[in-house]
Amino acid sequence: MSSQHIHPELHRSDRIGWLRAAVLGANDGILSVASIVVGVASASTDHKTILLSGVAGMTAGAMSMAAGEYVSVSSQADTEAADRRREEEELRTTPESELDELTQIYVQRGLDEPLAKQVAIQLTDKDALTTHLRDELGITEELAARPLQAAMASAASFAVGAALPLVIALSFPTKWTTVAVAVTTLAGLTVLGGLSASAGGAPPAKAATRVVFWGAVAMAVTSAIGWAFGVSVG
């Protein structure tokens, strides 16, 4: 008697919702607050002002990320809910038409019609709504929109990312703030870009290079603006 061994396969699609929000939040947190700190430090030598600007940026950014993510994902959730209600109504009023529709979906995927019909009947008998949501509309429980989860992930990851430049700014004297924050921020972006790419199954080097490049550009621009305002004020 042969025994069957079922091995779990590791897929990453169930991480898409929270991973996207968390990575976006952490990247924004590091880069936004680092750019604020670098810009203010280039214009002012007041350590308290630099730190206050960074804290204000972290607080405002975390709240903004949470609100934006919640609104965006809520719109997706509303659309999914509307599709669910429509599918429930169609299954209640026109079950034969829905069965034919499901059969044609499987035919288009490569099954011959008798087998497609058999599969459609069996899956409909088991759970018609879940089957139609998944195979007709592409809506699954794993990938369903979760607004609150996305908002919390964005806000928390933004705050965690923003803490890095703030801690560095607090640890170094004012004259070294710009250099110290810029260097540690680029290092943090490199690590974060590589880790997020690995978690998503993408090449780490390419993702890290991309985020570091744009991070350097952002800090260079804010530093130049801060320096220009500092000179004009002085």
The pLDDT score that the predictor gives to residue 55 is 93
- The pTM score is 0.66
What dihedral do alpha carbons 112, 114, 117, 122 form, nearest 10°? Answer: -110
The pLDDT score that the predictor gives to residue 138 is 76
- 3-state SS, one letter per residue, for 218-232: HHHHHHHHHHHHHHH
Kindly write down the DSSP assignment for every residue of 72-110, as one continuous string: HHHHHHHHHHHHHHHHHHHHHH-HHHHHHHHHHHHHHTT
| Phi-psi sector, 231: left (phi>0), alpha (psi -120 to 50), beta | alpha
Residue 154: phi and psi, rounded to 5, are -65, -45
- 3-state SS, one letter per residue, for 168-220: HHHHCCHHHHHHHHHHHHHHHHHHHHHHHHHHHCCCHHHHHHHHHHHHHHHHH
The pLDDT score that the predictor gives to residue 1 is 41
The pLDDT score that the predictor gives to residue 6 is 46
Q: Name residues whose C-beta falls within 8 Å of residue 197's C-beta, 6 or more positions apart in sequence.
A: 203, 204, 206, 207, 208
Q: How far apart are CA 87 and CA 137, in angstroms?
A: 10
The pLDDT score that the predictor gives to residue 200 is 63
pLDDT tens per residue across all 234 residues of the chain: 444 444 454 444 445 555 666 777 788 899 899 999 998 888 877 888 889 999 999 999 999 988 988 898 888 888 888 888 888 888 888 888 888 888 888 898 888 888 988 888 888 888 888 888 888 777 777 666 778 888 888 889 899 999 999 999 988 888 888 899 999 999 988 887 777 777 666 777 887 888 888 888 988 888 888 888 764 444
The pLDDT score that the predictor gives to residue 234 is 41
Q: Name residues whose C-beta falls within 8 Å of residue 185's C-beta, 6 or more positions apart in sequence.
A: 30, 31, 34, 164, 165, 168, 215, 219
